[in-house]
Amino acid sequence: MNASSGAVTTIRLGLLGCGTVGSALARLLAERGATIAARTGIQLEISRIAVSDLSKTRDPLLDAALFTDDAAAVVAADDVDIVVELIGGVELPRELVADALALGKPVVTGNKALLAMHGAELYAAADATGVDLLFEAAVAGGIPLMRPLRESLVGEPVRRVMGIINGTTNYILTRMTEAGASYDDALVEAQDLGYAEADPTADVEGFDAGAKAAIIASIVYGRIVLSDDVHHEGISNLTADDIEVAARLGYAVKAIAVVDADTSAAEPAIAVRVHPALVPLDHPLASVRDSFNAVFIEGDAVGDLMLYGRGAGGGPTASAVLGDIIDAAVNRAAGTAARIGALPRAQIRPIDELSSAFYLRIAVVDRPGVLAQVADVFGRNSVSIQSMEQQGLDDEARLIFITHVSQEAAVKATLAELRELEPVSGIHSVIRVVGHDD
């Protein structure tokens, strides 16, 4: 069915959950429904909405008669063609999404935790009944990313994906960079603005970005990568001082997710990590400020691509959900589906096998011969120094090293030896450097 034939097919939506995103979706549908119908031949209608608390005041745009607290009944209802999961959490959505797929109903979800834990079974369930399971909103909110990765770039040999995929940490680091704020003060600002939760652990320790990076890796490499496969380091130990030094050396400090793979063997060995990083100021990711997200894709054929936008919030998330609904509705009307397939489990590369350049800030006693001792430790561990700067502070000196790209295991061994060295009074910062041509 398409717009030019003049006929319009009605596709009915069952919403599971109706918070900020559900309300924003209802508003978008009210504003854009006629245009969507004219362009696609599909009239979208919300036919049922499941919520856990029926007594809560809801958006007046939504007819009170649509609401129920029986989510399973919404999934099973004959007047629900597509299930839109906006509940959050993992176990209940897992059951409901699996039931919908088993019934042959396409599912749209923005639930990153669900996919990063149970993607394998759900992709397989969608494959078994031949229906869409779409999740654009799960990664980088309003930025179209999953569809480009699944469709436009499916034939692209992707070398690496680097992303700023957590808006809260990007906001905190922007405030630390631009206002010289401490981590604690910037976090409170992020909480006041509603970016960070009262318990900010998921954002600041990299779990949120880790789940998103696991999904990106699964789609790019066609292998199941789980949240637990992701190496995480948070931003809470970063200081405004390091950020200032980094800027002087020509770098921005960002919380970065990196996805790549060793494809030299028949089975790719996939590496996914989330950590703070120094990014050269002339790299496109360095200019991504405030709570914005961006994903930088390095392809062998296409070259470098960057997608930029809002990674969270009702409007951007609803926009991504609506795009998926339209896709699923058009596919359903045409009797097709864009399935991911039953993916095999990924082989994961341990972090120690990876290589990176590093920024290191080390405090030493300031006396003759100390620099030579420190440099010797680097040399014996095959870690090559790219640049070094020394600042004297009374009888202590601060040494700032940037290394050449080195194996993680070698840098770890260097740091372990330095900690044992008598003149070394502290290793204060260890931050990877990404974004050079390496």
**Kind and range of the H or E run holding 253:** strand 251-262
243 binds ligand HSE (CB under 6 A): no
* Whole-number Å distance between alpha carbons of 332 and 351: 42
* Whole-number Å distance between alpha carbons of 399 and 190: 32
Residue 208 CB, shortest distance to ligand HSE, in Å, is: 5
| Structure token digits, residue 204 | 């600041």
* Whole-number Å distance between alpha carbons of 3 and 14: 24
Q: Which residues are paired to 393 by β-bridges?
A: 396
174 binds ligand HSE (CB under 6 A): no
Residues constituting the chain: 438
Residue 288 CB, shortest distance to ligand HSE, in Å, is: 12
Residue 270 CB, shortest distance to ligand HSE, in Å, is: 22
316 binds ligand HSE (CB under 6 A): no
User: Hey, how many other C-beta atoms are within 10 angstroms of the C-beta on 212?
Assistant: 30
Residue pair 258/225 in contact (Cβ under 8 Å)? The answer is no
Query: Which of 203/408 has CB closer to ligand HSE?
Result: 203
Mask of contacts with ligand HSE, 60-99, x by CB under 6 A? ----------------------------------------
Mask of contacts with ligand HSE, 199-218, x by CB under 6 A? ----x----x----------
**Is residue 43 packed enough to be buried (19+ CB in 10 Å), middle (13-18) or exposed (0-12)?**
middle
* Whole-number Å distance between alpha carbons of 4 and 113: 40
Candidate ranges 66-74, 161-169, 276-284, 412-420; the one touching ligand HSE (CB under 6 A): 161-169
Choose, by CB under 6 A, the member of 183, 195, 296, 378 that binds ligand HSE.
195
Active site (annotated) includes residue 212: yes
Residue 251 CB, shortest distance to ligand HSE, in Å, is: 22
- The active-site residue, picked from 105, 112, 212, 254, is 212
| Structure token digits, residue 233 | 């380091």
Choose, by CB under 6 A, the member of 17, 22, 41, 167 that binds ligand HSE.
167
166 binds ligand HSE (CB under 6 A): yes
Residue 255 CB, shortest distance to ligand HSE, in Å, is: 10
Residue pair 159/298 in contact (Cβ under 8 Å)? The answer is yes
Residue pair 235/255 in contact (Cβ under 8 Å)? The answer is yes
Q: Which residues bind ligand HSE (CB under 6 A)?
A: 166-168, 195, 203, 208, 311-312
- Residues recognised as catalytic: 212
